[in-house]
Amino acid sequence: MKLTVVGGGYVGLTTGVCFAHLGHEVMVVEKIPQKVELLRAGRSPIYEPGLEELMHESLSSNRLKFTTNLKEGLEFSDVIFICVGTPQRPDGSADLSQVEEVARETAKLMTSYKLLIEKSTVPVNTHQLIKKTVQRYIKSPDIPYDVASNPEFLREGSAIEDFLKPDRIVVGVESERAKKIFEELYKDFNCPIIFTDPATAELIKHASNSFLAMKISFINMVADLCEKTGADIKLVADGMGYDKRIGRDFLNAGIGYGGSCFPKDVKAFIRIAQDYGLDFGLLREVDRINQERPIRFVEKVKRVLWSVKDKKLAVWGLAFKPNTDDIREAPSIKIVDMLLREGAKLSLYDPKAMENFKLLFPEGKGISYAKDPYSAVESAEGLLILTEWQEFKRADLGRVKGLMALPLIVDGRNVYEPEEVRALGFEYYPVGR
């Protein structure tokens, strides 16, 4: 099939590259010219395992094209995936101006059937706004079109795998014609395909992300209780997780959820409910608990070290999760900022996210960046772990201990087993155990 993907961010790029990999002819529209240049040269502007390899394959077989020209993209095919940004407004609601633009421009140029598909996360009933926009700008009311919702559930760091092997595919459609297109598109996928109306599909996405965020805030509160009572959060999570109704996934306690989705989607869902006259207080609490996690972590560091002023502290991990260079809404940002205000001298290391972090926290004024985890800990009086990269799990802790001025670890991600680290002679402060 010929497919157009508007938006070259995480979702758009993965969608375009994966559909091309599956044999479709894909054009990705990305408005930033420098990004398009990079993409045409086979280089990904984001770090995502496996993405560049698949890009090379499809670029060389000419199944994947990039353009800055929205009109060219919209004329390229009849099936248009809308993967543009839906940034958060100050009141928590989503700014949908980019979605509106795609709907409007498509309507203006279409002369025959088009299927407009929302893949970006949008508030329930956005499809109605898209339809209204198309009706307003379309050349003739006789030209047929459909609007569908096909939310994407991929995670950063495992985007390709998640896209190609999803747990389920959700498709909200209103016509047989649109349904048939999706059946053809996803015929080789080995997972349940749930056909719904568009509003239901839109809601499934926000409800899923908010539910997962709720699991994380829940377990983080239980972790606090474990710290007070001497219980072990990992065993609590295991004990809960074996219950199929609960499940073990997303019960890892830590320093809170970050990234481009959960913080924004929870706030947006609260706002959506509000717009319909409902107070989703449960989610307000999920959000509040999460916002406090970095503060609780810094309090713990201060409790352990008494004062951090002028102390050299190493920080391992800046990305909001492993296997990505993304630092959007990463808890590390708040934590580093608070520690700097307390007068700490920080030596930061992350395998992929340092360049992005430098844009927010340039070198100097209490901040330095290390070339590897070991140089970060040299003569440090504490090591703080903020992202659970494999590299840290495998680190030579004997060497780390030898390099540190004081062998002390405050681990925000429960990377190690407490007995093992303590047996090596570290003071070790994990989360909730």
Nearest to 117 by CA among 171, 42, 37: 171
E-strand ranges in 111-168 read 114-118, 145-149
Amino acid letter at 374? Y
Q: Evaluate whether 12 touches 44 at the Cβ level (below 8 Å).
A: no
Residues 181-200 that bind ligand UDX (CB under 6 A): none
- Sheet of 408-411: strands edge to edge? 367-369, 345-349, 312-316, 383-385, 408-411, 427-429
Using the minimum distance from each CB to ligand UDX, give the nearer residue, 79 or 216.
216
Q: Tell me: does residue 357 bind ligand UDX (CB under 6 A).
A: no
Using the minimum distance from each CB to ligand UDX, give the nearer residue, 99 or 216.
216
Q: Tell me: does residue 261 bind ligand UDX (CB under 6 A).
A: yes
For residue 409, what is the enclosing H or E element?
Answer: strand 408-411
> Rounded to the nearest whole angstrom, what is the least distance from the CB of residue 425 to ligand UDX in the complex?
29
Residues 309-328 that bind ligand UDX (CB under 6 A): 320-321
> Rounded to the nearest whole angstrom, what is the least distance from the CB of residue 254 to ligand UDX in the complex?
4
Tokens of 215: 């699991």
Instruction: Give the HSE-up count for residue 351: Cα atoms under 13 Å, Cβ half-sphere.
Output: 15
> Rounded to the nearest whole angstrom, what is the least distance from the CB of residue 169 to ligand UDX in the complex?
13
Q: SS3 for 348?
A: strand
- Judged by CB under 6 A, the stretch of 27-35, 147-155, 224-232, 339-347 that binds ligand UDX is 147-155
Cβ neighbours for 14, distance < 8 A, ≥ 6 positions apart? 48, 51, 152, 154, 159, 160, 163
Q: Tell me: does residue 280 bind ligand UDX (CB under 6 A).
A: no
Q: Tell me: does residue 209 bind ligand UDX (CB under 6 A).
A: yes
> Rounded to the nearest whole angstrom, what is the least distance from the CB of residue 251 to ligand UDX in the complex?
6
Instruction: Give the HSE-up count for residue 115: Cα atoms under 13 Å, Cβ half-sphere.
Output: 25
Q: Tell me: does residue 392 bind ligand UDX (CB under 6 A).
A: no
> Rounded to the nearest whole angstrom, what is the least distance from the CB of residue 290 to ligand UDX in the complex?
9
Q: Tell me: does residue 262 bind ligand UDX (CB under 6 A).
A: yes
Q: What are phi and psi of 238, to 5 degrees?
A: -60, -50
Cα–Cα distance measured from residue 270 to residue 268, given in angstroms and rounded to the nearest whole number: 5
Tokens of 112: 């025959």
Interface with ligand UDX (CB under 6 A), residue from 250, 285, 300, 304: 250
Tokens 């070198």 -> residue: 363
Q: Tell me: does residue 374 bind ligand UDX (CB under 6 A).
A: no
Q: Tell me: does residue 258 bind ligand UDX (CB under 6 A).
A: yes
> Rounded to the nearest whole angstrom, what is the least distance from the CB of residue 68 to ligand UDX in the complex?
26
Residues 4-63 that bind ligand UDX (CB under 6 A): none
Q: Tell me: does residue 259 bind ligand UDX (CB under 6 A).
A: yes
Q: Tell me: does residue 155 bind ligand UDX (CB under 6 A).
A: yes
Candidate list 18, 83, 226, 261, residue with the active-site label: 261
Q: Evaluate whether 214 touches 282 at the Cβ level (below 8 Å).
A: yes
- Judged by CB under 6 A, the stretch of 32-40, 44-52, 152-160, 302-310 that binds ligand UDX is 152-160
Q: Evaluate whether 432 touches 232 at the Cβ level (below 8 Å).
A: yes
DSSP letter (8 states) at residue 378 = T
Let me know the angle formed at the C-alpha of 372 by 14 and 328, rounded to the nearest 5 degrees. 40
Tokens of 163: 């896209």
Q: Evaluate whether 141 touches 114 at the Cβ level (below 8 Å).
A: no
> Rounded to the nearest whole angstrom, what is the least distance from the CB of residue 66 to ligand UDX in the complex?
23
Binding-residue total with ligand UDX (CB under 6 A): 19
Using the minimum distance from each CB to ligand UDX, give the nearer residue, 311 or 413.
413
Tokens of 266: 């929870």
> Rounded to the nearest whole angstrom, what is the least distance from the CB of residue 258 to ligand UDX in the complex?
4
Using the minimum distance from each CB to ligand UDX, give the nearer residue, 216 or 403.
216
> Rounded to the nearest whole angstrom, what is the least distance from the CB of residue 208 to ligand UDX in the complex?
7
83 is catalytic: no
- Judged by CB under 6 A, the stretch of 54-62, 95-103, 136-144, 248-256 that binds ligand UDX is 248-256
- How many residues belong to the chain? 433
Interface with ligand UDX (CB under 6 A), residue from 66, 257, 297, 316: 257
List b or e across 60-97, with b for residues whose CB sees 16 or more CB atoms inside 10 angstroms.
eeebbbbbbebeebbebbbbbbbbbbbebeeebbbebe
- Judged by CB under 6 A, the stretch of 71-79, 98-106, 149-157, 239-247 that binds ligand UDX is 149-157
Q: Evaluate whether 367 touches 313 at the Cβ level (below 8 Å).
A: no
Using the minimum distance from each CB to ligand UDX, give the nearer residue, 198 or 259.
259
Q: Tell me: does residue 201 bind ligand UDX (CB under 6 A).
A: no
Please identify every residue annotated as catalytic: 261
Contacting residues toward ligand UDX, per CB under 6 A = 152-156, 209, 212, 216, 250-252, 254, 257-259, 261-262, 320-321
